[in-house]
Amino acid sequence: MATTANRLAKTLRTNISKKINKLPLKYFDRHSFGDILSRVTNDVDTIGMSISQNLGTFISAIALLISCVVMMFYTNWIMAITSILTSIIGFSFMFIILRKITKIL
């Protein structure tokens, strides 16, 4: 997971470097290059650390979800379909209610 996070951070740094090189010179007249570089470095490091910490958890959660669904179908396919459909309906109602609440607030 750390290797994947480091590769992603390297890709981000490369893309940001290309973007900075395309900026017009008048942008650097208003902003100091050190300030821009430190912001980019800190942001990319923060993103890389977050991905490094959370990517393993995300992959294990997906594996757990898939294995649970497989075991549910292996045990009783009718109850598995019922529970999946009930969950989808519940999440749909939740999103509808959240949209209405955010309009009120």
Average pLDDT over residues 20-30: 82
User: How many Cα atoms occupy the beta-carbon half-sphere of 73 within 13 Å?
Assistant: 7
Report the distance separating Cα 102 and Cα 97, nearest Å: 9
Encode pLDDT of 33-45 as tens digits: 777 778 888 888 8
The reported pLDDT for the residue numbered 62 is: 96
Report the distance separating Cα 86 and Cα 72, nearest Å: 14
Q: Is the pTM of this model over 0.85?
A: no
The overall average pLDDT reported for the chain is: 88
Average pLDDT over residues 17-32: 83
The reported pLDDT for the residue numbered 47 is: 86
Domains of the chain, by residue range, sit at: 2-74
88: left (phi over 0), alpha (psi -120 to 50) or beta: alpha
